[in-house]
Amino acid sequence: MDNKIKLLLLISVVVFQQTTIAQKRTRNVLRKPLLHSIQKQFEQERESVSLQLDSIKEAHGAQINFSHDDVVVGQRIQRMQKTIPLEYNHLVKSYLDKYISPNYKPYMEKLLGLSEYYFPIYEQIFAETNIPEEVKYLSVVESSLNPHTLSSSGALGPWQFIYGTAKGYNLAIDSYVDERKDVYLSTYAVSQYLTGAYDEFNDWLLALASYNCGRGCVRRAIQRSGLHAPTFWELSPYLPQETRNYIPKFIAMSYVLKHADSHQLVAQRTDLQFPYRVMMIDRYVDLKQVAQAVDCSLEVMQAYNPAFKRGKVNGTVAQPKRLIVPIRENLDDASLYIAIHQADVQGEDKDIQGVHYTVKAGETLATIANKYNVTVAELLTWNDLSSKSVAVGNTLWIEKTEDPRVDTRLVSNLNKAKPTVEPVKQVAYVVHTVKKGDTLTGIASRYKGATIAQLKADNNIKSSHLSIGQKIKVARGKGRI
């Protein structure tokens, strides 16, 4: 009996070994064509990039040299392409060599650290608004992911909006808030701009170029070129020098941040390293109190909420504001609730008025301050300026206090004499077409002042279910964010 069992076990082992060998042979047979296909594709990519670089070299009289490393970089850039066409050439190489140099290492590692906070937000909004994910790298070129970056032309925020353009996209700018610095609101505005630009030019690189020099500038360049539906590279000679460099910078920055590991770049820690909670606030809230409630410094709280100038969230029921709260290990929800719902009487009682003033040739902060009877220090504070120099064309916010020469009793009497019955205001609406993944909560968050209850009332919606393609009316007075 024992001998039979041993024989059966031996037969089982032999059968198992033969089966395993057969399986390995089968896998090897199937794997060889796959490996061959991958190798062939790799060689085709390398040949394509090599030919492209050779043609560039010939076009410039052999004055440009490309190495084997450049071929590798070109292949990687080809594989990065999703929606936006990315090309590796001598212009991209000049910026790429700079970005991976030892001198740039601290700067690039800081960008990597900041990108861990900013890029997921960009990706979420771009997915929602059908903008290519690669556009997130454009913000790095624009502002180095610093919402306080102020250009010589007065552009501000992570996406560098100038005052007039920001107002055109319903970004609020007043004594309490500058929504150009709000990462969510400014990214929605950028999405809206680029959607229009792509619809006009039908080319993503030209749409991005127009973000630098303006759609009118690209339009005029196309007219001067005489070309029909040109690419960016074909149109480049007709564009301003800054715009010619803009796209190569974008491609080089995209590559380095995407392949940071290949160049020994490690993300630096930043103030934006904590997970966070996004809340819509319909009252005045003191950021200092919220910071104390979540056990973080005021500086960290302001880093997450750079748009608020006075350290206060000036939310109202009609226009709630977005508050980003970093989540610490010892977060006390009760303390956070108290901090948010504690009445800020001073903030609610004081409705600050002011004017926007455009700087003219020959003017300085000192002359403007004297003109409006304010101090230079106040102008610096109100406008987040770090320097006393100001460029022509910049728009400054100047707060106004009540003029003591005004007879307040006369004003009061005049107000009393006004009709007590106001004319009925006609409400205009914009129409939002429901897309896949849309919810009433998401739609309400995209339009200033919109609420779920109001959306249901205006559209006679009984439940929270929405259908793709459904038209939703949103009051125009609550401008889109």
pLDDT over 80 at 447, yes or no: no
Cα dihedral 41, 45, 50, 52 sign:
positive
For residues 256 and 112, membership in a common domain is answered with: yes
Alpha-carbon distance 289 to 295, whole Å?
10
Tell me the pLDDT band of 116, cut-offs 50, 70 and 90.
Answer: very high
Token pair, residue 295, equals 């056990």
The pair phi, psi for residue 49, each rounded to 5°, is -65, -40
For residues 217 and 109, membership in a common domain is answered with: yes
Identify whether 433 is part of a domain. Answer: yes
Read off the pLDDT of residues 153-192 as tens digits, 9 standing for 90 and up: 889 999 999 988 999 999 999 889 999 999 999 999 999 9
For residues 199 and 150, membership in a common domain is answered with: yes
| Mean pLDDT (whole number) for 49-76 | 65
For residues 214 and 151, membership in a common domain is answered with: yes
For residues 186 and 321, membership in a common domain is answered with: no
Identify whether 11 is part of a domain. Answer: yes
Strand partners, 395: 358
Instruction: Write down which residue in 195, 228, 263 finishes a domain.
Output: 263
Q: CATH number for the domain including 149?
A: 1.10.530.10
Tell me the pLDDT band of 444, cut-offs 50, 70 and 90.
Answer: confident
Identify whether 415 is part of a domain. Answer: no
Question: Between 33 and 453, whose confidence is greater?
Answer: 453
Alpha-carbon distance 468 to 456, whole Å?
16
Lowest mean pLDDT: which of 38-47, 73-82, 131-140? 38-47
Tell me the pLDDT band of 409, cut-offs 50, 70 and 90.
Answer: very low
Q: Write down the pTM of the prediction.
A: 0.68
Alpha-carbon distance 322 to 307, whole Å?
10
| Mean pLDDT (whole number) for 273-291 | 92
For residues 134 and 253, membership in a common domain is answered with: yes
Q: Count the Cβ atoms, other than its own, within 10 Å of residue 3.
A: 7
Question: Between 243 and 335, whose confidence is greater?
Answer: 243
Residue 139 CB partners (closer than 8 Å, separation 6+): 118, 122, 145, 158, 159
User: What is the pairing mode between strands 395-400 and 353-358?
Assistant: antiparallel
Identify whether 140 is part of a domain. Answer: yes
Based on the structure, what is the number of domains in the chain? 5
pLDDT at 362: 80
Domain containing residue 135: 102-170+182-263
Identify whether 480 is part of a domain. Answer: no
For residues 332 and 454, membership in a common domain is answered with: no
Alpha-carbon distance 423 to 123, whole Å?
45
Identify whether 177 is part of a domain. Answer: no
| Mean pLDDT (whole number) for 274-279 | 93
CA torsion 267-272-275-279 (nearest 10°) is -150
| Mean pLDDT (whole number) for 217-224 | 97
For residues 52 and 139, membership in a common domain is answered with: no
Question: Between 161 and 20, whose confidence is greater?
Answer: 161
pLDDT over 80 at 147, yes or no: yes
pLDDT at 470: 80
| Mean pLDDT (whole number) for 347-367 | 71
For residues 207 and 327, membership in a common domain is answered with: no
For residues 305 and 363, membership in a common domain is answered with: no
Identify whether 74 is part of a domain. Answer: no
C-alpha distances (whole Å) from 277 to each of 115, 125, 274, 376 are 18, 16, 10, 37
Q: CATH number for the domain including 392?
A: 3.10.350.10
For residues 249 and 307, membership in a common domain is answered with: no
Alpha-carbon distance 176 to 311, whole Å?
8
Lowest mean pLDDT: which of 138-147, 327-336, 377-386? 377-386
Identify whether 83 is part of a domain. Answer: no
For residues 116 and 157, membership in a common domain is answered with: yes
